[in-house]
Structure 1
Amino acid sequence: MGKQYDVAVVGLGGLGSAAANALATAGLKVLGLERFSPVHDLGASHGESRGVWQAYFMGPEYVPYLRRAYTLWSELEEASGERLFHRTGGLCLGPADGALIPAARESAEKCGLEHEYLTADEVHARYPQFEPAPDCVAVYDPGSGYVQPEQTVRVGLALAQRHSADLHFNETVREITENPGGARVSTDRGTYDVGHVVVTAGCWSPGLLPELTFPVDVLRKVMLWFEPDGGAQDFQPGRFPYWIWEGDGMVGYGHPAANGLHGGVKAGVHSGGTPTDADGVDRYVQHREIAEIQDFLRTRIPRLGASGRYRKSAVCLYDNTPDQAFVIGPASAHGRVVVAAGTSGHAFKFLPAIGESVMEIVTKGSAGQNLSIFDPARFAVSR
C-alpha cells in the first residue's frame, strides 16, 4: 500500500492539536487520530485555564522556549481571529529560601525579564485578596497570564483542518511500526502507511512506544472552583493574577475567574498527586481532596478558602517524567516516529512552540530551538 499521508499525529489534545496545525500549515498531508471525541476532558487538556509564565521556576533554560511560545500565541490569535492569551500578571510566592522563589528570580535575572521582587506587605497592598505570612516573598511577572485549554485545542484543530488535515475521532491506535522508508499505524478501523508518526497521546504515549525507554508516572490531579465571599468581581482578570505558591510542603496554584462573574475561581495543587492508570482513573472527587485545597487557601486567600463556597471540581492527568522535563524528539531507530509527551503538568504554556518543534523535526530532522533537555535519549538504558 502506498503512503496515504506524510505524517500521522496520534492524540489530538493540546500537544496533538498544536502539532497537527503546525504540520498542516507547513504543507504536509496530515492524518490526525484521536481515541476520544474532539476537545475531550479525559486527559490533560481541559479545565478552563492554564497558566502562562516567563520568569519560570523550572529554570532559565526554559525561557527561550517560552519566548518563542509567546510569539506563536500571538500568531495563533492572528490566524484564528480569537483572543487566546489573557495577560493578567503573575505571582510566584513562597519563602525566600524555598525552591520556587530563588529559581524564579534566577530565570528573570539571567534572562533579563521584567519582574519585581515583593514583600508580603507589598503583595497584600497590590492584591488585598492575598494574605501572605510575614516571611513570604514573591516574584511578580507582569507578562504572565492564562490561556483556555478547550478553546486552544478547538482552534488548533480548526486551523489544521483549514489546511486540509484529515482528523479522525473515536479511533484507537493499536500499533505503530517503522521501516527505513516510513511507518505504519494500525487502528481499530484500519491501517495507514505514512512517512512519519508523531505521538502526542499524553499518558497513553508510553504504551504506543514499547521500544522507547520512556519512564512516566501517571498522576491523578484535582482542580477546584470556588465562589469567593463577596462575589467574583475582585477575582476577575485585571484585578487578580495568575499565582503559584509554595508552602506547607506543597505547591498550590490558581487563576483569575476565566469565565466571568459566574464561572468560579480556580485553584489546585501542582505538587503531589495520586498514582493511577490512564484508563482506570477515578473521576470522583473526594471530600478530603476538596478540604486539602481549602486548607491551603484558608489563610492565604481567605475569601476563597475560609469563607468562599466550593462550586465544582474536575480530575485531570499528569504524565510525569523523573526529571519533570518533557520528552520531545525522535523515538525510533530510523527517526520516523517522533514523540512529544511527558508533559509533567507544565507544558501547556509552551504549546505552539512544541507544535513548531515537532514540525521542524519531521521536516528538517531537528528543531530550531535547543531541545537537549527534552531528548528522549536521556532515558536510554545501556544493554
Structure 2
Amino acid sequence: MAPDYDVIIAGLGAMGSAAAYHLAKTGRHVLGLDRFEPPHQFGSSHGLTRIIREAYFEHPLYVPLVQRAYELWADLEKQSGQKLLLQTSGLMLGRPDGVLVRGARRSAEEHHLKHRVLSCDDMRREFPMFQLPPDMVAVWEPRAGILFPEAAIRTHIASARAHGAELVINSPVEKWEPETGGVRVHAASGVYTARQILLSPGAWMTSLAPDLKLPLAVERQVLCWFQPRSEPGLFSPQRCPIFICEHQPGRFFYGFPDLGDGVKIGVHHEGAMASPDRLDRQVKDRETEIALSLLRQFLPRAAGPVRSAMVCMYTNTPDEHFLLDWHPHSPQVLIASPCSGHGFKFSPVIGELAASLLSGARSPFDLSLFRLDKHLGT
C-alpha cells in the first residue's frame, strides 16, 4: 500500500512551517503536525521580534545561508503582501579582542560585507543612546534589522496551505516508526504513513529521537520591554539599530528599538535549564532587574519602567550550532532543529534546504557545522 503522504513534518514552528511551504510549493504531498496552534507562546518563536544580521560572529559559514535567507524573506513578503522584515542596521558592541567583535569582523572581512568599526567616540556622536566604556568598539552593519516571528510563521503556514499542504494543529507527534518504504507516525489525531519525515519539534526533539541520546539542553529565556526614561525618540527604529553587546568576556545581551511596546532586551545564554513541558513562565523581579541594570550601564536613557516581560526557550547543542542532518539509522528521517537561540532568521533557508534534501538534492551550502555525528556518543 502506498504511503499517505510524501513527507510528514513533526513541528510547525519556524523551521517546520517554512519547510511545509517549500515542500508544498514543489508539489510534494505534505502533512504537518504540531502540538499547539502556531504561532503560539509555548516554544521558541514568539516575543514580537527577532534579529537578523549578516556579519555573523558565530562563524563565517553562516553568512551565505543568511544571505539566502534575506532573499527568501523578501520573496515571502512580496508573494504574501505581509511586512516581515524591518531594516534598522545593527551594532555588535564589545572589546576589540572579544568573541563578538572579532567574530563579526572576521565574517565581514571574509565575505566582503559592508561594515564600519566605530570607536567609543564615534558611537557617542552617531549613536548617542549608547554609553560605552572607552575600551569598547562597535561593528556596524547596514543590512541588519528586525523580523516579526509570529507574522512570519503565520505567513509560512498560510502559504503552505495555499499550495496544498495539510496542517493539523493541537496534535503532538507521539512517536514514529521506520517501516519498509517510509515511516509510520503516531499522533494525537491519528496514525499516518509517509515516505519521509522531517523532525523539527524544537525543544521536544529528544522525545522524538530518544535512541540518539542527543546532548540537547532546553534553556529558559527571559525577554523584557522597558519604557525609555528620557529622549524616547532616540529609540525609534529610524535612529536605534538592533544590537548585541558582549558586556563581559563571553557574556552577552541583545536589544531592539522601541516599536511601540518599549525597548526590548534579552540576556543571552544565562537562563536556567528547563523542561519544555514544565517551563516556569513567570518572570521574576530579579530577572527584570538584571536586564534593567544592563540598560542603566549601556543605554541609560532606556532604563525606565518595565512595560512587559515573557519567557521563551532556547534548545542548545553543546557547540551552539544548528542540527541539520539525516538520522544515522533511518535514512528516511531528516532532523532540522534545534538552533541554539539564534536560528529564527535562517528559517526560510533551512526550510528550503530541508525540502531540497528530502527531494534528493545536494545542498549548495557547506553544512558541516550542523552534522549530527559530532554530537553522538557525547
- Give TM-score, length-normalised by structure 2: 0.97
CA offsets per residue over residues 128-149 of structure 1, 9 Å max, x none? 1111111110000111001011
Q: How does 1:11-26 map to 2 (within 5 A)?
A: 11-26=11-26
The match for 2:41 is 41
Query: Aligned with 1:174: secondary structure?
Result: strand
CA offsets per residue over residues 294-346 of structure 1, 9 Å max, x none? 111112000122xx111100100000000001000211424111111121000
Q: Quote how far apart the aligned CAs of 1:377 are.
A: 2.0
Are residues 347 and 156 of structure 1, via their aligned partners in 2, closer, same or farther at CA, if it must alter by over 3 Å? Answer: same
CA offsets per residue over residues 330-383 of structure 1, 9 Å max, x none? 11424111111121000011111100110011001532322111011222339x
Corresponding letter in the other structure for 2:35: R
The match for 1:98 is 98
Measured in 2, the distance between the counterparts of 1:286 and 1:183 equals: 44
1:255 pairs with 2:256: yes
Measured in 2, the distance between the counterparts of 1:25 and 1:265 equals: 37
The match for 2:332 is 336
Corresponding letter in the other structure for 1:189: S
The match for 2:262 is 264
Q: Quote how far apart the aligned CAs of 1:213 are.
A: 3.9
1:276 pairs with 2:277: no
Q: Quote how far apart the aligned CAs of 1:255 are.
A: 0.8
The match for 1:86 is 86
Measured in 2, the distance between the counterparts of 1:322 and 1:238 equals: 37
1:121 pairs with 2:121: yes
Measured in 2, the distance between the counterparts of 1:203 and 1:88 equals: 30
The match for 1:317 is 313
Are residues 234 and 2 of structure 1, via their aligned partners in 2, closer, same or farther at CA, if it must alter by over 3 Å? Answer: same
The match for 1:366 is 362
User: Does the 8 A contact of 2:245 with 2:253 survive in 1?
Assistant: yes
The match for 1:245 is 245
Corresponding letter in the other structure for 2:233: Q
The match for 2:146 is 146
User: Does the 8 A contact of 1:12 with 1:34 survive in 2?
Assistant: yes
How many residues are aligned here? Answer: 377
Corresponding letter in the other structure for 2:332: R
Q: How does 1:132-281 map to 2 (within 5 A)?
A: 132-230=132-230, 232-249=232-249, 250-258=251-259, 260=260, 263-281=261-279
Measured in 2, the distance between the counterparts of 1:232 and 1:340 equals: 40
The match for 2:59 is 59
Which of 353, 373, 378 is matched with 1:377 structurally?
A: 373
Gaps of 5+ in 1: none
User: Does the 8 A contact of 1:358 with 1:367 survive in 2?
Assistant: no
Query: Aligned with 1:342: secondary structure?
Result: coil
CA offsets per residue over residues 122-181 of structure 1, 9 Å max, x none? 112111111111111000011100101101100000000000111101111111111341
Query: Aligned with 2:194: secondary structure?
Result: strand
Are residues 126 and 252 of structure 1, via their aligned partners in 2, closer, same or farther at CA, if it must alter by over 3 Å? Answer: same
Query: Aligned with 2:311: secondary structure?
Result: strand
Measured in 2, the distance between the counterparts of 1:102 and 1:248 equals: 14
The match for 1:297 is 295
The match for 1:327 is 323
Corresponding letter in the other structure for 2:311: V
Query: Aligned with 2:62: secondary structure?
Result: helix
- Runs of 4 or more above 3 Å deviation: none
Percent identity, aligned pairs only, is: 40
- Which moves more between the two structures, 363-372 or 289-298? 363-372
- Give TM-score, length-normalised by structure 1: 0.96
User: Does the 8 A contact of 2:61 with 2:366 survive in 1?
Assistant: no
User: Does the 8 A contact of 2:200 with 2:338 survive in 1?
Assistant: no
Gaps of 5+ in 2: none
Measured in 2, the distance between the counterparts of 1:284 and 1:8 equals: 34
